[in-house]
Amino acid sequence: VGVPDDIGGAGAASADRAEVGDDDFGRLYRAQYPQLVGLARLLLRDPAGAHDAVQEAFVRAYAARRRIRADGAVAYVRAAVVNECRGGLRRRVRWSRRAAPAEVAPMPPEEHLLLDEERRTLAIAIAGLPRRQRECVVLRYWLDLSEAEIASTLRISTGAVKTHAHRALTALERALEALR
């Protein structure tokens, strides 16, 4: 899945240190929204929550647009979506702790129907990964980000990205082996 780093206009490319104007913001919104909803959906596993997270991230980006460099706008919104998803998970966990003993969220029925057994196993294993490992997997294999881009998004070192990604893939391989 390609990520256009230019926010959508020649003006942005010619003024990469300029702030993000309202027109640029609109283009950024239209160009990035679908992919970011996919990102949020994978991190949250909640379609409605995914839209909310992306909307909220854009609200934050809009409020900060005069501080954002045009060439960093996509990265800014992407990081904001990841942060919103973390917040959403915390709120969900807090609510579930009050309402009932904490459990791993069951697989949504629509996901169950869409996936064959192997993918179902992988989906459950991905959902059960520690947060950082799951974020690294989604950013690497859904958004096709480089290790440096993932490190920048998650504010961790590239070494940590390698470690989390390696551990995640090892865990996922084990999950598949257990299936056989």
Binder of other proteins out of 30, 106, 112, 179 (CB under 8 A):
30
Please give the structure tokens belonging to residue 51.
Answer: 């839209």
* 138 is a site residue for other proteins (CB under 8 A): yes
Closest to other proteins by CB, 10 vs 22, is: 22
For other proteins, which residue of 7, 12, 35, 44 counts as binding (CB under 8 A)? Answer: 35
What would the DSSP string read from start to end of 118-174? Answer: HHHHHHHHHHTS-HHHHHHHHHHHTS---HHHHHHHHTS-HHHHHHHHHHHHHHHHH
Q: Residue 10 CB, nearest distance to other proteins (Å)? A: 20
Residue 33, burial from CB neighbour count under 10 angstroms (0-12, 13-18, 19+): middle
Residue 135, interface with other proteins (CB under 8 A)?
no
Among 44, 68, 74, 145, the residue binding other proteins under the rule CB under 8 A is: 68
Q: Is 55 in the site for other proteins (CB under 8 A)?
A: yes
- 87 is a contact residue toward other proteins (CB under 8 A): yes
Task: Indicate which single residue of 12, 53, 74, 80 sits in contact with other proteins (rule: CB under 8 A).
Answer: 80
Q: Residue 113 interacts with other proteins (CB under 8 A)?
A: no
101: exposed, middle or buried (Cβ count in 10 Å: 0-12, 13-18, 19+): exposed
Q: Contact, 113 vs 174, CB < 8 A?
A: no
Please report whether residue 15 would count as binding other proteins according to CB under 8 A: no
